[in-house]
Amino acid sequence: MPFVGLGLHVLLALFCAVHAVRTGQQLYWVFILFAFPMLGSLVYIFAIYLPNSRLDRGAMRAVSAVAKTLDPTREVRTARAEYEHTPVVVKPFRTVQ
């Protein structure tokens, strides 16, 4: 059974090392990945991989789509409210004599 854990660590470290090399990260990440089993991989995933992943953009699109479905007129209402609070400069009307 210990071989399964070792295999998972090696696969995870290889995945992270390939990602580090392809994205042009510093090479010390490769050393960290293999020098500190599992801990290096977890640090790399949370520090480099997840912030650069596209999961954030996809989640934001999904949330905005759900918000538009639940309240389709929200943008119009907020725009009207902002328009009402916008200061307007009125120039006096001059008549031509």
Q: Domain segments of the chain: what residues?
A: 10-53, 54-84
Burial-class residue 86 by CB neighbours within 10 Å (0-12, 13-18, 19+): exposed
pLDDT confidence band for 3 (50 / 70 / 90)? low
Angstrom distance (rounded) from CA 14 to CA 79: 50
Angstrom distance (rounded) from CA 90 to CA 76: 25
Looking at residue 18, its pLDDT comes to 92
Looking at residue 2, its pLDDT comes to 57
Helices (H) and strands (E) in the chain, counts: 6, 0
CA atoms within 13 A on the CB side of 89: 1
For all residues of the chain together, what is the average pLDDT? 82
Query: Model confidence over 19-48: pLDDT tens digits?
Result: 899 988 888 989 998 888 789 999 998 888
Look at the pTM and tell me if it is higher than 0.85. Answer: no
